[in-house]
Amino acid sequence: MVQQSFYPCDSVGIFFDDKNMSGNTLGKIFCVTNFGESHGKVVGCVIDGCPARLPLDEEVIQKELDRRKPGTSRHVTQRQESDQVQILSGVYQGLSTGTPIALLIPNTDAKSKDYTDIEHLFRPGHADYTYWKKYGIRDPRGGGRSSARLTAPTVAAGAVARWWLKNHLAIDIQAYMLQIGTQTIAFEDLLFVNQNPFFAPCQDTEYLATYLDHLRKSGDSCGALLQVIARNVPVGLGEPIYDKLDADIAKVMMGLNAVKGVEIGSGFDSVEQLGSQNGDIITTEGFLSNHAGGILGGISSGQDIVVKVAIKPTSSIRLPRPTINTAGEASVISTLGRHDPCVGIRAAPILEALMALVLIDHVLIHRAKNEH
Amino acid sequence: MVQQSFYPCDSVGIFFDDKNMSGNTLGKIFCVTNFGESHGKVVGCVIDGCPARLPLDEEVIQKELDRRKPGTSRHVTQRQESDQVQILSGVYQGLSTGTPIALLIPNTDAKSKDYTDIEHLFRPGHADYTYWKKYGIRDPRGGGRSSARLTAPTVAAGAVARWWLKNHLAIDIQAYMLQIGTQTIAFEDLLFVNQNPFFAPCQDTEYLATYLDHLRKSGDSCGALLQVIARNVPVGLGEPIYDKLDADIAKVMMGLNAVKGVEIGSGFDSVEQLGSQNGDIITTEGFLSNHAGGILGGISSGQDIVVKVAIKPTSSIRLPRPTINTAGEASVISTLGRHDPCVGIRAAPILEALMALVLIDHVLIHRAKNEH
Amino acid sequence: MVQQSFYPCDSVGIFFDDKNMSGNTLGKIFCVTNFGESHGKVVGCVIDGCPARLPLDEEVIQKELDRRKPGTSRHVTQRQESDQVQILSGVYQGLSTGTPIALLIPNTDAKSKDYTDIEHLFRPGHADYTYWKKYGIRDPRGGGRSSARLTAPTVAAGAVARWWLKNHLAIDIQAYMLQIGTQTIAFEDLLFVNQNPFFAPCQDTEYLATYLDHLRKSGDSCGALLQVIARNVPVGLGEPIYDKLDADIAKVMMGLNAVKGVEIGSGFDSVEQLGSQNGDIITTEGFLSNHAGGILGGISSGQDIVVKVAIKPTSSIRLPRPTINTAGEASVISTLGRHDPCVGIRAAPILEALMALVLIDHVLIHRAKNEH
Amino acid sequence: MVQQSFYPCDSVGIFFDDKNMSGNTLGKIFCVTNFGESHGKVVGCVIDGCPARLPLDEEVIQKELDRRKPGTSRHVTQRQESDQVQILSGVYQGLSTGTPIALLIPNTDAKSKDYTDIEHLFRPGHADYTYWKKYGIRDPRGGGRSSARLTAPTVAAGAVARWWLKNHLAIDIQAYMLQIGTQTIAFEDLLFVNQNPFFAPCQDTEYLATYLDHLRKSGDSCGALLQVIARNVPVGLGEPIYDKLDADIAKVMMGLNAVKGVEIGSGFDSVEQLGSQNGDIITTEGFLSNHAGGILGGISSGQDIVVKVAIKPTSSIRLPRPTINTAGEASVISTLGRHDPCVGIRAAPILEALMALVLIDHVLIHRAKNEH
């Protein structure tokens, strides 16, 4: 049954012809401008607003990029990218100078021929369709601009942010997997998170491997649920009314490819809670619970910031599905390129980077208006 | 058990003394700057960027404010505010002139004495604590700036936005209740939404009244779950990579007082879905489903935009709870002022306003970069 | 001789019909949003980003408004406006709270009938024509939005800014007249500036009064040249490459009604200077000169910031001149309303306010990125 | 005589230690983010907001860069940079895609050893001093970030802007020299501007060559006066009150290295003009004069936009001058690196680029709020 016909965009003058966008900058003071395409020469970003005299070299950034990079296990895309970052500017003799830091990550393993079949077809659940309608042109190679590859510059910029946050405020950020598809993960210890390919906080992840092997062979994909926690965040961050800390966290998390839901603290469970349960009691020794997820009235409370993120299944799957082409004709599509069967698996380092980027920006904004 | 001690903010120089914020402007082109306090002289806003020659008078705005205003049933706060809006500028002979539109809503029923008891106490779950820590000063009367009363200017500005969207693109926005506390609501028809005090899409709401009467008498409060839908949204809105349409929707929704979770389309259900289920099939006659909630790759697809929002229970309750005062000493608090037992009840018109504000801004930004 | 025919705007689709603007906010952190029209109910502004705990009341602001207000001598417009400012929000018990400060200045002496003759005529040199072409609508009463009356909110916001700058950094700002029309003013002492109606730094201003009396009787108007100086500005303000301190000063000064030229330091005299003259020598005891006007490479040097501003003659004059009407037909116009014969006379307090607004914003931005 | 002692920055906590900036992005919709240092690996920029489907290749950009590049005559710096631009992203099959366009210009002839002598000395009139005080660190090689070399990315971005403006609105922009040092230039014809190394609108420029040869041999430098004109600018651009078109033009022009004065139309001559002279008469066939320089009330009038810019003499000169070093001790400096004796000579293409960047941004902002 057809649930909704196409919006007749062509009949509305303003949504017809050549189109454009911007919106590729994140942050107000610590600003990250992202550029590049999946199969272009490079992906990269410019960080404008990093405080001066931060000790900085490629190593600091590379460490985080390596956690995100593809090809590290059979459960993620087999594209082989070393993701070697180059610092082009803004660092002199090992210190940031306060000027823009341009970061470049060359693309080395782009197999664009894999994608020629889908140049004129829209993958269900993919941005192919909307990019085409918005701009009247798109770079289809590897998903072009809508590829998850564009999270690499975000991770690189986030590495600088978390390094600064670590050095100056001892803020610590960690993301981990709560669920892959139907497989929930019992929390054991954060120590395990970086010891398995799933960022799972448990020792035995064989059942996840089995689940994903099966899924991959079936040609299908699945979603994931992750949690990200920031510790040692000072009380007072966030700019109500509109630029609240939770608002900005929700923005960056929902803005990550494939994310469809964001919760702070008790999140959707708050609906059924009573006020007497949900309100975290304050004692002379601290809060007795953290239903608020570390944010009250849009301002950090000094408790851990706790965020949950739902990621939908990868939209590029091998299973054939009906679709239409750019000419509007019916067709069938089966995506053969290299794809993550569960795009959420590599999300942990990205969520950490996004959290770091929001926090550093709010720290700097807050500092702007402090008395001394 | 104490879960986390206070962050020792006072020992970190930058988070100690006098503090400040801004962040009270929403939007990039259609910009709303919000001002006022719950028990000050007025609340209000300035809209900068409304296109010229929009037919506009107080009536257009008042209609929406009346849907949000307090005191309309026994299930919401008994504060009696007529919420009469005044247009101070930007309209000449019944048409917007393209210059800033200042809107004023006087406060008439502020009973500040109700709050004297809590001037130096922090309500659990409330912004009292974080405002105090952030600014070193707060207006405690009626919650001051953190009061839900500050959503009135947002609704007023949203009324202008939705009026423009209705006139120019026939966009239609509607929010309704899915659940109050433990009471789920079976969807019957949108016609019922404005016929009961709960914005519930069903005819018989007696069970909700009974539930809330019981709750109110107990001195406690509960949460709520709402859905907001936008129809006739053109394909192509949204500015990837960071300023995606869903990112901006998540930001404004999470930024509303008491909201703790936001979902687009299938939201958290996406985690357990397979890619073959979740990807909405495109046919020559339209999409066959709407798991995406109307947004693909951060850009509107032309389908309905579907958002779910979780609202926590009101933090101001009559039940006594332990807390501390501004001097850091242990105390007990019981909030006797007039409060909504379920702040989510009046959220529907606010969610609609927020959706309208995001959409008009993205329409105008999109239009900026269109070819002609 | 016709120098240039009209641009055929009507044939370019995008510049024809209803139009709009925004751009009514100044500043990035200390943000001032200006609203109102000359003969509307009010003029006013919202300050978002003022640091908390600044002692503040109407008195602080009124003092500056009184220096700008009309009707104080026979040499300025005879409109009688008391310009009484009201603080609507953001101040609690005599201190700023860090939340938006809304300021309102009611219009009390608006004689709109004076303007009915010119509702459909364009004054040569006035914004009548461009507003009409841009928006397709304008409020013609008293110049509507393009009136110099809209500088009152700027002065009010500037009063808050300079009060903060004075208290926190001992920054001192003063503007004074260098020339009115053909009458140059010999500098004697800054003490005289506030002792005559011309903001002239000299004791005897009788010759200026005589010149302006003659001018007023002739039905014509003249321009003015002013200088504004900021003292005790710390070294280090300004954000190169684009948001340099001098760039932002030039923006706000040129953005003031009727300003046609801005110089920093030696300004246009720099053209004929040699590098060996122009470069201010640095010694162990300070700079030996100030050709730079206190800014090097877009960053304040710690020297006085020195700016000169050229203001054109008032475009509303009694002398009849040929023009066209909104229908494009030839006509003649003579402006009989109350106007300043030299709009530059009241510019000094406005220039000071603009300088204060730029400086506070740069101080706060700078502070955001400082190490501690 | 010491005119002013140093501001005691070290005694003010907030202006002492490590420091930072941002402010390296120009524009609101067509946004240019500039990065790089004079002797780093590269200079470059990211353009975010270029409309899609603009035909674009390196050629379009290179043409403008070649007009600005060094080493083209004996009258400019002898640094040999081919300034070969690379488009890294945002273009697919010869068309802009609406995604960020990253541009890279490698530095190839950086002779940093020339600068070792001045690593710890401040050149009078140069940004050395203020960068050092602001950031506590600077890249001294070739002036680092404060070098005029950073105008290359501005010219590159401006080339894209003017190409779009030319294609879509037939806007034409041209800058030329009015005066070099004491040598005024009689206007003959714009045809000559690109036929001599001085961008002079006259045929015989031998006297300028002689003047500059003499100057260069003397080890000194001089200033310059240029004019930039934009033709076919539609009526209606500019966003009053604060973001006026002339305000934004003044900002970018004053923000260019070494600029100390900006005039629009009659500029400083307006001071002595009467209102009856200065107001440009409007007839049924157009304006009879252009004292306004094409802007009335901050909005373009459809007439030519006419701007004059004063550029100070190069601060890096061979003549020895007293100065201090980073330790605050007295010293003497003589700059031996390769420098332009008159930095204004290469300014024409940069002024054109800046004008193009302001205009395209205002065209796109204006379009955002147009009715259709």
Q: What is the 3-state secondary structure (H, E, C) of D351-362?
A: HHHHHHHHHHHH
Nearest neighbour of A371 by CB, restricted to C53, C369, C371: C53
Shortest Cα–Cα distance, B92 to chain C (Å): 6
β pairing state of A330-333 and A321-324: antiparallel
Q: Which of C177, C282, C323 to mutate to test the interface with D (most CBs of D within 10 A)?
A: C282
Has residue C283 been placed in a domain? yes
Residue B219, number of CB atoms within 10 A of its CB: 16
d(CA B333, CA D9) in angstroms, rounded, equals 48
Which of B331-340, C73-82, D113-122 is the least confident region? Answer: D113-122
Tell me the residue range of the domain where D366 lies.
112-370
Has residue C353 been placed in a domain? yes
Judging contacts by C-beta atoms under 8 Å, the chain A residues touching residue D13 are 372
Has residue A65 been placed in a domain? no
pLDDT score at B81: 80
CB contact under 8 A, C25 and B48: yes
Q: Mean pLDDT, to the nearest integer, of A112-124?
A: 78
Nearest neighbour of D276 by CB, restricted to C276, C319, C366: C319
Judging contacts by C-beta atoms under 8 Å, the chain C residues touching residue B36 are 88-89, 100, 102
**For B270, nearest residue in chain A (alpha carbons):** A312
SS (H, E, C) C183-239: EECCCCCHHHHHHCCCCCCCCCCHHHHHHHHHHHHHCCCECEEEEEEEECCCCCCCE
d(CA A106, CA D51) in angstroms, rounded, equals 25
CB contact under 8 A, C297 and D150: no
Q: Mean pLDDT, to the nearest integer, of D255-260?
A: 98
Is omega for the bond preceding C317 within 30 degrees of 0, making it cis?
A: no
**For B28, nearest residue in chain D (alpha carbons):** D28
End-to-end CA distance of chain D: 64
Has residue C3 been placed in a domain? no
Q: Mean pLDDT, to the nearest integer, of A267-288?
A: 97
pLDDT tops 70 at residue A9 = no
Shortest Cα–Cα distance, A36 to chain C (Å): 24
Question: Which residue shows structure tokens 């740069």?
Answer: C362
Query: What part of C 17-56 touches B (C-beta under 8 Å)?
Result: 18-25, 29-31, 33-37, 40-44, 46, 48-53
Q: Rounded to the nearest 5°, which phi and psi values hold at A24?
A: -100, 20
Angle at C371 between CA C370 and CA D4, to 5 degrees: 55
Nearest neighbour of A368 by CB, restricted to C52, C364, C371: C364
Q: Are B159 and B64 in contact (CB under 8 A)?
A: yes
d(CA A222, CA A342) in angstroms, rounded, equals 5
Nearest neighbour of B29 by CB, restricted to C22, C46, C49: C22
The model's pLDDT over B217-258, given as tens digits with 9 standing for 90+, comes to: 999 999 999 999 999 999 999 999 999 999 999 999 999 999
Judging contacts by C-beta atoms under 8 Å, the chain D residues touching residue C252 are 242, 247
Report CA-CA distances (Å) from C55 to A113, B39, D13: 67, 20, 22
Give the residues of chain B that fall short of pLDDT 70.
Answer: 1-22, 111-117, 371-372
Has residue C296 been placed in a domain? yes
Q: Are B253 and B351 in contact (CB under 8 A)?
A: yes
pLDDT tops 70 at residue D1 = no
Nearest neighbour of D255 by CB, restricted to C2, C247, C281: C247
Q: Are A227 and B271 in contact (CB under 8 A)?
A: no
CB contact under 8 A, B25 and C48: yes
Q: Are A371 and C53 in contact (CB under 8 A)?
A: yes
Q: Does C298 touch chain A (CB under 8 A)?
A: no
pLDDT score at C81: 80
Determine the 3-state secondary structure of C325 from DSSP: strand
Q: Which residues pair with B104 in a beta bridge?
A: B44, B86
Has residue B61 been placed in a domain? no
d(CA C247, CA C264) in angstroms, rounded, equals 10
Q: Which residues pair with D282 in a beta bridge?
A: D287
CB contact under 8 A, C220 and D131: no
**For D53, nearest residue in chain B (alpha carbons):** B371
Has residue A238 been placed in a domain? yes
Please report all neighbours of A, defined by 3+ CB atom pairs within 8 A: B, C, D
Nearest neighbour of B302 by CB, restricted to A6, A145, A179: A6
Q: Which of C21, C172, C237 to mutate to test the interface with D (most CBs of D within 10 A)?
A: C21
Query: What part of D 117-156 touches A (C-beta under 8 Å)?
Result: 134-139, 144-145
Angle at A360 between CA B360 and CA B147, to 5 degrees: 55
At A6, the pLDDT band (50, 70, 90 cuts) reads very low
Residue A77, number of CB atoms within 10 A of its CB: 22
Q: What is the pTM of this model?
A: 0.94
Judging contacts by C-beta atoms under 8 Å, the chain D residues touching residue C320 are none
CB contact under 8 A, A312 and B263: no
Segment (H or E) for B372: none
The model's pLDDT over A333-354, given as tens digits with 9 standing for 90+, comes to: 998 877 788 999 999 999 999 9
Q: Does B11 touch chain A (CB under 8 A)?
A: no
Query: What part of D 199-218 touches A (C-beta under 8 Å)?
Result: none
Q: Are C279 and C290 in contact (CB under 8 A)?
A: no
Q: Are C314 and C114 in contact (CB under 8 A)?
A: no
Which of B179-193, C22-36, D281-295 is the least confident region? Answer: C22-36
The model's pLDDT over C262-291, given as tens digits with 9 standing for 90+, comes to: 999 999 999 999 999 999 999 999 999 999
CB contact under 8 A, D52 and A137: yes
CB contact under 8 A, D95 and A48: no
pLDDT score at C309: 98
The model's pLDDT over C169-212, given as tens digits with 9 standing for 90+, comes to: 999 999 999 999 999 999 999 999 999 999 999 999 999 999 99
The model's pLDDT over D198-207, given as tens digits with 9 standing for 90+, comes to: 999 999 999 9
**For A86, nearest residue in chain D (alpha carbons):** D41
The model's pLDDT over D34-84, given as tens digits with 9 standing for 90+, comes to: 999 999 999 999 999 999 999 999 999 999 999 988 777 888 777 778 899
Judging contacts by C-beta atoms under 8 Å, the chain C residues touching residue A365 are 29, 368
pLDDT score at D79: 76
pLDDT tops 90 at residue A191 = yes
Judging contacts by C-beta atoms under 8 Å, the chain A residues touching residue C49 are 369
Has residue A94 been placed in a domain? no
CATH of the domain at B198: 3.60.150.10
Tokens of B34: 């919000």
CB contact under 8 A, C367 and A371: no
Nearest neighbour of A369 by CB, restricted to C49, C369, C370: C49
Which of A6-20, A239-253, B215-229, D115-129 is the least confident region? Answer: A6-20
Shortest Cα–Cα distance, A98 to chain C (Å): 9
Shortest Cα–Cα distance, A22 to chain C (Å): 19
End-to-end CA distance of chain B: 65
Number of separate domains in chain A: 1
d(CA B188, CA B183) in angstroms, rounded, equals 15
CB contact under 8 A, C15 and D366: yes
The model's pLDDT over A29-62, given as tens digits with 9 standing for 90+, comes to: 999 999 999 999 999 999 999 999 999 999 999 9
d(CA A361, CA A27) in angstroms, rounded, equals 6
Query: What part of C 45-104 touches D (C-beta under 8 Å)?
Result: none
Judging contacts by C-beta atoms under 8 Å, the chain D residues touching residue B242 are none
Q: Are D38 and D153 in contact (CB under 8 A)?
A: no
Judging contacts by C-beta atoms under 8 Å, the chain B residues touching residue A328 are 284
